[in-house]
Every structure is written in structure tokens, then in C-alpha cells.
Amino acid sequence: MKFPAPVSVQWVAQLIGAELSGNLSAEVTGINEIHKVEHGDLVFVDHPKYYTTCLNSAASFIIINSAEIAVPVGKTILIVADPFEAYLKIVQHFKPFVSTEKAISNTLIVGEETIIMPNVFIGNNVRIGNNCTIYPGVNLLDGTIIGNNVVIQSGTVIGSDAFYYNTKKNRSHWYKRMESCGNVVIEDAVEIGANCTIDRGVTATTLIGAGTKIDNLVHIGHDVSVGKNCLFASQVGIAGGTIIEDGVILWGQVGVNKTITIGENAVVMGQTGVTASLAGGKTYMGYPAAEAGLKRREIVWIKRIPELWKKVMEQND
């Protein structure tokens, strides 16, 4: 999330009660989680396991719970007891929750010849392009941006909060949700089936590329980037932060792990479990996903195990 205007790191430190070290005169341009940080961004880290990753990332400012670290040249650290709570305070300051008092917010911007059917809910600051069709029961939540010639079928929810929790066990409640301040962008000529769910980015954008077609009952997690002209069949699930490049086909019930990449024009067969990044231009199947030809040979050999075992036992008699 970018701030409306840059703010001094001194001001941020005062807001969250932080002690500063490093570059004390810099300006903060936004806040992001580690997978999306850019120069000028603020990020938080609250576990030594991830200190090095955050300090060496593109982030210019790091909220951290240790003063006993070397500050990289040009960066600033903001030392607090609980970085997670500090992050939440910043998000709540720059993007506080604002409820919508009617089914379609007055802030909606909608293009020509777009059809919005009854019983659609549209939150704050939503933009819809030209010649779109939004079917009954669709929910377009705050900050959603939709291009031209988009079709969204009934029951679909766009822009729900990210499934993203602090799992540290030193709390009275184990899991506390990380506030989502990102959004969803759906480019031109996308079609989304019934009862799909697409989560907003935690701090950035969940993107559905132009020309992509999505079947019913598909879930796309926070900060996923889907390329152009992809095809997702029913019951596909994609976890947060994953990159799906152009032309990828995911057939029914494919499950995709978080923060991995599926390369351009890859085809993933039904019920495959994708646990690691896949190169483009190949067909995959099975769990864990592997090239389809290899998996088919494995299946043949597995089916032959009883026969081979019988022969071994006969030889030993």
C-alpha cells in the first residue's frame, strides 16, 4: 500500500512509539509485506529467523523487535516491542475500515453499457469498466478495480480479506489477523464463474490478467498474480503470493501452494498437488506434481508391484 504522500520516518516512529536507528532523515512512501516490498517501503519482522531476509530486501524501513543488529547502509530500523501491532497501527491509520451503508456505494465509478443486476453488493471506491455484466448475488468489496468486457457470475466474492494470520503462540489468542489494505484488479475480457472467491492483497494487489477464464467454485488467495489468457477449471485453489504466468491451464481440483511460480503455458491435470514451482511449456500431474509422462510411468510400475512381489516370493520358496 502506498501512502497518499511520503511521510518522514520520524513521524512514523512517533506514531508507533519506535526507537530509530540508521538513516533518520528518509521518507516512507508505503507499507508492504515481505513478498511485495519495494524501495521506500516499510516492512515488519518479529522473528530472528527472518531478520536477514527483511534487512536484505528492497524495503528501506524495517520495523523490528531487536536493537542488536547491524543496520544496512541507507536503511532505517524502527525498534518496537511488538512489530506486528505496530504494523496494524500504521495500516489502521492510513486505511481505516469504513462501512458501507447501502448495497451499492455512492463512490462507485461504472462505465458505459455495463449491467449490474439486482442484489449485487458494491463497496467503497470500486471501479467497473465498459460493457461488463455483474450477475445477482455478486459482492465487489472495497477498492476492487474491474476492466472492460468482464463477466462475473452469481455468488462470487471479489476482494475479501486475506487469509493471513500472525501465528506466534505468545498471545492470549493464538491467531490474529493481519489487516488487509490491498485490493483486487481484474483486467479486460476476464470471465469469472459462480461462487468463486478472490482475496484482496495483504498490502498490494491480487491480479487477474486479461482474457483469463475461471470456472465455478475457484479460490484465489491474497497477492496472487494470474497472467493473461489462463484457464482454471472448477475447484482450483491457489494459495497466497503465487505467480501464475500467461497461458497456464489448471484443470479441476488442482491445488497450488503459496509463493511459488507456474511457468508460461504449463498445463496441470486434474487433482494435481503443486507444491513447488513448475517450468512453463510442460504438462504435469500427480502429487507432488511432476511431468505427466514420468508420473504415468510411475503409475504403471506401482500397479506391477503385486506381480513383482509374487515372483520374488515364488523364487524364495
What is the CA angle 61-62-67, rounded to 5? 125
CB 68 within 8 A of CB 31: no
Judged by DSSP in three states, 219 sits in strand
Its sign, for the CA torsion 289, 290, 296, 301, is: negative
Judged by DSSP in three states, 182 sits in coil
Distance between CA 217 and CA 208 in Å, rounded? Answer: 16
Its sign, for the CA torsion 17, 19, 25, 27, is: negative
Helix axes 83-94, 9-16, angle to 10 degrees: 110
Per-residue burial over 293-302, b if 16 or more Cβ lie within 10 Å, else e, is eebeeeeeee
The catalytic residues are 222
Q: Three cell numbers at 64?
A: 523490528
CB 156 within 8 A of CB 220: no
Question: 134 Cβ partners below 8 Å, 6+ apart?
Answer: 114, 115, 116, 117, 120, 128, 140, 152
Q: Three cell numbers at 237?
A: 485453489
Judged by DSSP in three states, 316 sits in helix
- What amino acid is encoded at 168 in this protein? K
